Amino acid sequence: MHADDPTADGANDPLVNGERIMRICNACRYCEGYCAVFPAMERRLQFTRSDLNYLANLCHDCGECYYACQYSPPHEFNVNVPKSFAEIRARTYRQYAWPAPLAAMFARNGLAVSLVLALMLVLALSAATLVLGKDLVAATPDPAGDFYRFMPHRVMAGVLGGVFLFVALALAMGFIRFWRDMGESLSEFTRPDALRRALGDVLTLKYLHGKGAGCTYPDERRSQARRWFHHLTFYGFALCFAATVVGTIYHYAFGWKAPYGYLSLPVVLGTSGGVGLLIGPAGLLWLKLRSDPQTSDPGQLGMDVAFIALLFATSLSGLALLALRDSSVCGLLLVVHLGVVSALFLTLPYGKAVHGIYRSAALVRCALEKSQPMPDAGLD
């Protein structure tokens, strides 16, 4: 057989296998109507490591191309784009992580995230105990629900603000590394047309939409479930984040101190977001555990579940804190919530969350490419 035999096993290196599969797909092209990956593939005749990193992150893992594939296993060509691209994505998450030594957190991500969570809980507990100098579970509940008596505002804001700045820097560095790997200049990223188009794709999850039919996840039957659960998660998170921003503005700009009333803007935003952030992650986990093992990379289950669980725990502890803020467990719940939130943020650059950065950036690049004329790649 020829050295470039498409059946040759390149399973040891995801990029070798990915290149092999893309060569088959590019000679077939039946799937080009499904998503952005295949039209982007058709602009190329060869697939470099950067190309594969790009295409893998452009893939939304909807599974359609696997079920439609005439070459999927047990066919000897063994074409499985969702699985191959999941493996390549996992590699890129490590490759782009900043600072580089922390990429090790991806290796056993579920464990790493759990350890960070435990550490954050202990730190928050110690801090609160230090401040309070006595038992955290207050003997007499505070009807006003003031939680700054467990932890002064400046401590809370200082620590979380620091975490936030570090995380923002780490994510930005990851993005820059991805973008450089694509061979694109940063000025290209800010082209308004491409940015607007990509933003639309991200905010609507266009490529999980299947033109209204949904996608083949968790199994061969098409459904919109994943898209809606993802929307609940993403927009729930966004609303919770907005609640924090509004609270910060209230505190510093107007001198209005928490706790805020149940019908105040921060609490309404946080509560509605929190509900989304309960249902969304629970739904995603439910789908994940029922998903077709054929199309996924089993090595990533820990990472996926860790992120989903942290999102869920963030929302659950936040809502519990709101509901029980005037009870005796207020202090304990505050500490748990702060621990979970800091663990969530600290692990954002070293867990599943980075998929949002790289996929969005890949969509921007895809929009940039679409604005260029089609290169000579077999379309004489």
Partner 1 sequence: MPGALQDCEVLVVGGGNAALCAALSARERGASVTLLESAPKAFRGGNSSHTRNLRCMHDAPTDLLTDAYPEQEYYGDLWRVTGGQTDEALARLTIRDSAACTRWMKAYGVRFQPALGGTLHLGRTNAFFLGGGKALVNEYYAAAQRLGIQVHYDAEVVDLAIDDGAFDHAVVCAGGEKRRIAARALVVASGGFESNLAWLRQAWGPAADNFLIRGTRYNMGKVLKVLIDRDAEKIGDPTQCHAVAIDARAPKFDGGIVTRIDCVSLGIVVNRDGERFYDEGEDFWPKRYAIWGRLVAQQPEQIAYCIIDSRAVGRFMPSVFPPFGADSIEGLASQLNLPAERVIETVRAFNQAVRPGRFDHAVLDDCRTRGLSPEKTHWARAIDAPPYYGYPLRPGITFTYLGVKVNERANVLMKNGSPSNIYAAGEIMAGNILGKGYLAGFGMTIGTVFGRIAGQEAAIHARR
Per CB under 8 A, residues contacting partner 1 are 1-2, 4-7, 23-24, 26-34, 39, 42, 45, 64-65, 67-71, 73-77, 211, 213, 220-221, 375-380
The least CB distance from residue 236 to partner 1, in Å, is 32
DSSP state of 259: P
**Interatomic CA distance for residues 140 and 373, integer angstroms:** 71
Which CB atom, from 74 or from 255, has the smaller least distance to partner 1?
Answer: 74
Distance CA 198, CA 210 (A): 17
Contacts of 256 (CB under 8 A, 6+ apart): 250
| Type of residue numbered 302 | G
The neighbouring-strand residues paired with 155 are: none
Q: Which residues contact 29 (CB under 8 A, 6 or more apart)?
A: 38, 42
Distances (CA, A) of 52 to 55, 70, 72, 81, 117: 5, 22, 19, 11, 33
CB atoms within 10 A of CB 326: 13
Q: Least separation, in Å, of the C-beta of 87 and partner 1?
A: 21
- Output the CA angle 147-149-151, nearest 5 degrees: 80
Residues 6+ apart with CB under 8 A from 235: 273, 276
Taking the least distance from each CB to partner 1, the nearer of 5 and 326 is 5
How near is the Cβ of 216 to partner 1 at its closest, in Å?
9
Which of 53/78 has CB closer to partner 1? 78
**Cβ pair 142, 326 in contact under 8 A:** yes
Taking Cα atoms as reference points, which of 6, 84, 69 lies closest to residue 34?
69
Question: What b/e readout covers 244-272, taking b as 16+ CB neighbours within 10 angstroms?
Answer: bebbeebeeeeeeebbbeeebebbbbbbb
| Nearer to partner 1 (CB atom), residue 233 or residue 295 | 295
Closer to partner 1 by CB, 216 or 291: give it.
216
Nearer to partner 1, 210 or 302 (CB): 210
Shortest separation between residue 227's beta carbon and partner 1, angstroms: 17
CB of 4 to partner 1, least distance (A): 5
For residue 43 the two structure tokens come to 């602009």
Partners of residue 223 on adjacent β-strands? 215
Q: In whole angstroms, how close is the CB of 214 to partner 1 at the nearest point?
A: 12
Min dist CB 75 to partner 1, Å, is: 6
Shortest distance, position 2 Cβ to partner 1, whole Å:
5
Pick the closer one to partner 1 by CB: 142 or 219: 219
Nearer to partner 1, 23 or 94 (CB): 23
